[in-house]
């Protein structure tokens, strides 16, 4: 049974993988100020808790300590000491009769979570680590730099060979612990397959390692500073060159300024002269503009007058065009009417000629008719006279002579 | 007694011959001139008398609206010594406005219609004929040929009462010798022209009803020679000569060129100085659909040798 060193604080003990609590009696009889028992198998954890219910120093945590918080499957074997979370690999070669009794899902705790649950934890703290296959995970995850997590000693029971999937062998664990600043105090190799080691924190070496780490960091920072210094020096040199250049430019600028000042003075004199000329020209321009305005006005008036005259002329021209077209139209109508009248006249002349011809025929006919009628009249008269002689003596009637009357002669009539 | 009666007759005949010889005193033949036998001379006298008895006829031209009648009438108006009076119909009421007031101081017939005691158609006809007698005599004395252009639209394309009234040629025939001509045009073309002018006096305004009215017009002028407008525009001079032959009017050459100087009423046709055939107006859908359905339209086309198809 492990005991805290005499003369120091009694400290605390954390037993990972308490199992059936074989060490519990020893713990309870000790002067540890705090006793933390972590057992993943629920029944065992419950049994342990019953046994230490009356001791206020104890804390029983039912769960498995691993590198992370969560859940995992706990396998219990017919060799209870081999219970664990990891899958056995070479273990079955050592224990061919090994078989799984049960599988149960158990909660897992990381070292940081465990420490937070059980704080405060009076130091020095002793860690008893019986967690087959996960020893390296626990040790790597153990927080450092915190007084509450600082381990003073470790009692480790592990496998000499790598017997679990993901697990580590004795050599690897020794190296890990050495790297973490633990010196091996004692080892129990009575069971060559399951050696026990007791290791103690070498504070000096830890400090030395820390200082070395710090020194390395400082050296790195120094190197960075040297690089930065060199870079800064280079920048300063560049800037100095730039400054010199600017100073030279400044001198040049000052010289140029002086020259510019001289030129400015000259320019001002010229400007004064030019201003005088400008004023003179402006007055001339004003006079010219006034004259232009007058000329424009005169031109505009003349243009307007010309436009009015042109418009008047156009209107007159259009009116004359209308008159001309009207006259043309009237002339066309007149010509046609004249043609119609000429046609009428020719028709009348033709009909008149025909009428004269008919009249001439009639006169001829009448001339022919007259002597015949005279003969007829004479014949009748003679007949009448003869008839009268038959009734008595009548005188002979004298033959009738036509009364002479000249007929009217029409112009152009024949005969 | 017989000898006494014959003696009286002989004396009467002798007196008549004496009167005739008195009238013919200036026409005595010179001695030794011979004359034709008396019967031949008398027949020649009778022939001259027959010519003198022939009175100048009144000429008339008749057509439906939008059939080219104005164009042909313009040609008649350019004939020498021809007086054409346009759109005459003494019984027309198309120009008579509603109400009493209508200023027409020279229109005696209108005044008779619009009077408080309006006169009937018989009186209007007698007044018209009396005016025509005076005008005809005056024209004859001046050597002027009178032509009346009938406004047949008033009689045949308005009311049924108007159709029943005497037409112009029937009125004139009561008192005057008459020479007449009817002009026609393809009924579809004249109907399309009426449609374009919106002259929808024909009710209902359908191709069938219009064709029926056209047939009534033609039947009332059945004895009058007919001239087609299409023949006129194809050969204006030759067709005008035929028309003038019917109307006994002279046709000197070049009269058609003078029609631009003539303006007449009722000139509804498309303008232009050249007499030539014109393309048919576009046919609206509502008219195109009625072409095949109208029997009167097809009869009309067959009557004057027109094709009834729309193309």
Which residues in chain A are contacts of B28 at CB distance < 8 A?
Answer: 367, 370-371, 374, 402, 404
Q: Which residues contact A384 (CB under 8 A, 6 or more apart)?
A: A397, B7, B10, B11, B14
Cis peptide before A289 (omega within 30 of 0): no
Cα–Cα distance, B210 to B199 (Å, whole number): 12
Find, among B73, B67, B83, the residue nearest to B263 by Cα: B73
Specify the DSSP class assigned to residue A63: S
pLDDT over 50 at A398, yes or no: no
ipTM: 0.72
Phi, psi of A102 (to 5 degrees): -155, 165
Which residues pair with residue A103 across a beta bridge?
A75
Q: Rg of chain A's alpha carbons, rounded to an integer? A: 80
pLDDT over 80 at A85, yes or no: yes
**A368 to chain B: closest CA residue:** B35
Lowest average pLDDT, out of A306-310, B108-112, B158-162, goes to B158-162
Lowest average pLDDT, out of A126-135, B47-56, B293-302, goes to B47-56
Q: In what order do the strands lie in the sheet with A58-62?
A: A58-62, A34-39, A12-16, A125-129, A151-157, A196-201, A182-188
Phi, psi of B59 (to 5 degrees): -100, 145
- For B164-212, the pLDDT digits (tens) are 899 999 999 999 999 999 999 999 999 999 888 888 777 788 899 999 9
Q: Are strands A34-39 and A182-188 parallel, antiparallel or unpaired?
A: unpaired
* Per-residue confidence (pLDDT) for residue B2, from 0 to 100: 54
- For B78-90, the pLDDT digits (tens) are 999 999 999 999 9
**Per the CB < 8 Å rule, is B29 touching A372?**
no
**Per the CB < 8 Å rule, is A403 touching B44?**
no
**H or E element, residue A382:** helix A203-391
CA B260 to chain centre: 22
**Per the CB < 8 Å rule, is A390 touching B21?**
no
Which residues in chain A are contacts of B45 at CB distance < 8 A?
Answer: 365, 369
Cα–Cα distance, B144 to B128 (Å, whole number): 19
- For A7-31, the pLDDT digits (tens) are 556 799 999 999 989 999 999 999 9
Phi, psi of A74 (to 5 degrees): -95, 125
Find, among B245, B240, B181, B191, the residue nearest to B213 by Cα: B191
Cα–Cα distance, A147 to A166 (Å, whole number): 30
3-state SS of A132-166?
Answer: CCCHHHHHHHCCCCCHHHCEEEEEEECCCCCCECC
**H or E element, residue A107:** strand A100-109
Find, among A203, A229, A116, the residue nearest to A151 by Cα: A203
Q: Which residues contact A49 (CB under 8 A, 6 or more apart)?
A: A60
The 3-state DSSP class for residue A101 equals: strand
pLDDT over 90 at B130, yes or no: yes
- For A214-270, the pLDDT digits (tens) are 999 999 999 999 999 999 999 999 999 999 999 999 999 999 999 989 999 999 999
Alpha carbon of A37 to those of A15, A53, A56, A384, B213: distances in Å?
5, 12, 13, 206, 134
Q: Around A45, how many Cα atoms within 13 Å sit in the side-chain half-sphere? A: 18
**Mean pLDDT, residues A25-44:** 93
Nearest by CB to residue B35, choosing from A332, A372, A388, is A372
Which residues in chain A are contacts of B33 at CB distance < 8 A?
Answer: 371
A62 and A39 in contact (C-beta within 8 Å)? Answer: yes
Q: Which residues contact B242 (CB under 8 A, 6 or more apart)?
A: B227
Q: Are strands A100-109 and A70-77 parallel, antiparallel or unpaired?
A: antiparallel
Find, among A137, A175, A177, the residue nearest to A154 by Cα: A177
Which residues in chain A are contacts of B10 at CB distance < 8 A?
Answer: 380, 383-384, 387
To the nearest whole angstrom, how far is the Cα of B36 from the nearest Cα of chain A?
Answer: 7
Alpha carbon of B114 to those of A240, B121, B124, B160: distances in Å?
128, 13, 12, 22
Cα–Cα distance, A54 to A43 (Å, whole number): 19
* Per-residue confidence (pLDDT) for residue B32, from 0 to 100: 45
Which residues in chain A are contacts of B80 at CB distance < 8 A?
Answer: 340, 343-344, 346-348
B153 and B217 in contact (C-beta within 8 Å)? Answer: no
Alpha carbon of B91 to those of A79, A190, B61, B63, B264: distances in Å?
148, 161, 17, 17, 20
**Per the CB < 8 Å rule, is A340 touching B80?**
yes
- For A1-11, the pLDDT digits (tens) are 455 455 556 79
**Mean pLDDT, residues A396-405:** 48
For testing the chain B interface, which of A360, A380, A383, A399 should be mutated: the one with the most B CBs within 10 Å? A380
B242 and B196 in contact (C-beta within 8 Å)? Answer: no
**Arithmetic mean of pLDDT over chain B:** 87
**Per the CB < 8 Å rule, is A373 touching B21?**
yes
**Mean pLDDT, residues A192-218:** 86
Cα–Cα distance, B92 to B149 (Å, whole number): 13
A377 and B21 in contact (C-beta within 8 Å)? Answer: yes
Instruction: Go through B280-299 and write b for each residue having 16 or more CB atoms within 10 A of its CB, e for each that does not.
Output: eeebeeebeeebeebebbbe
Residues above pLDDT 90, as percent of chain A: 53
Q: How far apart are the first and last CA of chain B?
A: 89
3-state SS of chain B?
Answer: CHHHHHHHHHHHHHHHHHHHHHHCHHHCCCCCCCCCCHHHHHHHHHHHHHHHHCCCCEEEEECCCCCCHHHHHHHHHCCCCEEEEEEECCCCCCCCCCCCCCCCCCCHHHHHHHCCCCCCHHHHHHHHHHHHHHHHHHHHHHCCEEEEEECHHHHHCCCHHHHHCCCHHHHHCCCCCEEEEEEECCHHHHHHHHHHHCCCCCCCCCHHHHHHHHHHHHHHCCCCCEEEHHHHHHCHHHHHHHHHHHHCCCCCCCHHHHHHHCCCCCCCCCCCCCCCCCCCCCCCHHHHHHHCCCHHHHHHHHHCCCCCCCC
Specify the DSSP class assigned to residue A83: -
Q: Around A116, how many Cα atoms within 13 Å sit in the side-chain half-sphere? A: 7
More confident residue, B104 or A207: B104
Which residues in chain B are contacts of A367 at CB distance < 8 A?
Answer: 27-29, 35
């Amino acid at each position: 049974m492990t005991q805290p060193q005499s003369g120091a604080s009694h400290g605390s003990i954390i037993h990972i993988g308490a199992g059936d609590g074989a060490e519990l009696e020893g713990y309870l009889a000790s002067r540890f100020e705090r006793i933390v028992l972590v057992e993943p198998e629920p029944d065992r954890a419950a049994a342990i808790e019953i046994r230490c219910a009356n001791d206020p120093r104890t804390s029983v945590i039912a769960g498995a300590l691993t590198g992370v918080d969560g859940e995992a499957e706990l396998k219990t074997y017919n060799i209870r000491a081999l219970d664990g979370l990891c899958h056995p690999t070479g273990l079955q070669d050592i224990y061919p009769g090994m078989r799984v009794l049960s599988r149960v899902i158990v909660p897992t705790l990381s070292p940081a979570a465990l420490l937070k649950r059980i704080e405060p934890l009076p130091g020095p703290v002793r860690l008893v680590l019986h967690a087959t296959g996960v020893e390296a995970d626990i040790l790597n995850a153990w927080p450092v730099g915190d007084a509450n997590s600082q381990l003073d000693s470790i009692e480790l029971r592990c496998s000499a060979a790598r017997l679990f999937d993901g697990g580590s062998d004795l050599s690897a664990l020794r190296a890990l612990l050495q790297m973490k600043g633990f010196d091996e105090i004692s080892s129990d190799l009575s069971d060559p397959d399951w050696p026990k080691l007791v290791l103690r924190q070498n504070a000096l070496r830890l400090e030395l390692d820390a200082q070395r780490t710090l020194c390395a960091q400082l050296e790195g920072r120094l190197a960075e500073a040297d690089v930065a210094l060199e870079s800064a020096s280079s920048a300063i040199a560049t800037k100095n060159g730039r400054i010199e250049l600017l100073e030279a430019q400044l001198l040049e600028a000052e010289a140029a300024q002086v020259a510019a000042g001289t030129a400015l003075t000259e320019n001002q004199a010229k400007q004064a002269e030019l201003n005088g000329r400008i004023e003179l020209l402006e007055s001339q321009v004003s006079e010219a503009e006034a004259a232009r305005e007058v000329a424009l006005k005169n031109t505009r008036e003349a243009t307007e007058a010309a436009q009015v005259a042109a418009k008047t002329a156009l209107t007159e021209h259009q009116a004359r065009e209308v008159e001309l077209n009207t006259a043309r139209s009237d002339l066309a109508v007149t010509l046609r009417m004249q043609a119609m009248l000429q046609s009428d006249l020719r028709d009348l002349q033709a009909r008149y000629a025909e009428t004269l011809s008919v009249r001439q025929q009639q006169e001829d006919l009448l001339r022919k008719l007259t002597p015949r009628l005279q003969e007829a009249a004479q014949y009748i008269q003679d007949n009448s006279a003869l008839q009268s002689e038959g009734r008595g003596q009548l005188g002979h009637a004298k033959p009738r002579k036509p009364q002479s009357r000249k007929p009217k002669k029409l112009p152009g009539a024949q005969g | 007694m017989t000898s006494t009666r014959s003696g009286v007759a002989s004396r009467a005949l002798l007196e008549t011959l004496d009167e005739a010889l008195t009238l013919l005193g200036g026409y005595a033949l010179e001695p030794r001139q011979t004359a034709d036998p008396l019967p031949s001379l008398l027949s020649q006298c009778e022939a001259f008398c027959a010519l003198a008895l022939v009175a100048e006829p009144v000429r008339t031209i008749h057509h439906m609206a939008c059939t080219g009648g104005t164009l042909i009438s313009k040609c008649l108006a350019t004939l020498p010594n021809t007086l054409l009076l346009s759109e005459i119909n003494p019984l027309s009421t198309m120009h008579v406005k509603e109400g009493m007031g209508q200023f027409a101081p020279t229109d005696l017939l209108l005044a008779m219609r619009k009077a408080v005691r309006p006169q009937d158609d018989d009186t209007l006809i007698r007044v018209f004929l009396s005016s025509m007698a005076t005008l005809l005599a005056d024209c004859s004395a001046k050597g002027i040929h009178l032509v009346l252009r009938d406004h047949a639209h008033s009689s045949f394309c308005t009311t049924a009462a108007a159709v029943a009234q005497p037409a112009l040629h029937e009125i004139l025939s009561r008192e005057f010798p008459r020479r007449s001509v009817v002009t026609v045009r393809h009924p579809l073309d004249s109907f399309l022209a009426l449609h374009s002018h919106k002259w929808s006096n024909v009710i209902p305004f359908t191709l069938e009803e219009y064709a029926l009215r056209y047939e009534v017009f033609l039947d009332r002028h059945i004895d009058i020679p007919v001239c087609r407008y299409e023949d006129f525009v194809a050969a204006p001079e030759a067709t005008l000569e035929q028309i003038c032959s019917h109307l006994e009017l002279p046709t000197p050459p070049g009269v058609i060129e003078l029609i631009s100087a003539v303006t007449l009423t009722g000139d509804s046709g498309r303008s232009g100085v050249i007499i030539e055939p014109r393309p048919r107006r576009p046919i609206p859908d509502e008219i195109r659909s009625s072409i095949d359905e109208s029997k009167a339209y097809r009869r009309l086309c067959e009557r004057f040798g027109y094709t009834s198809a729309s193309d």
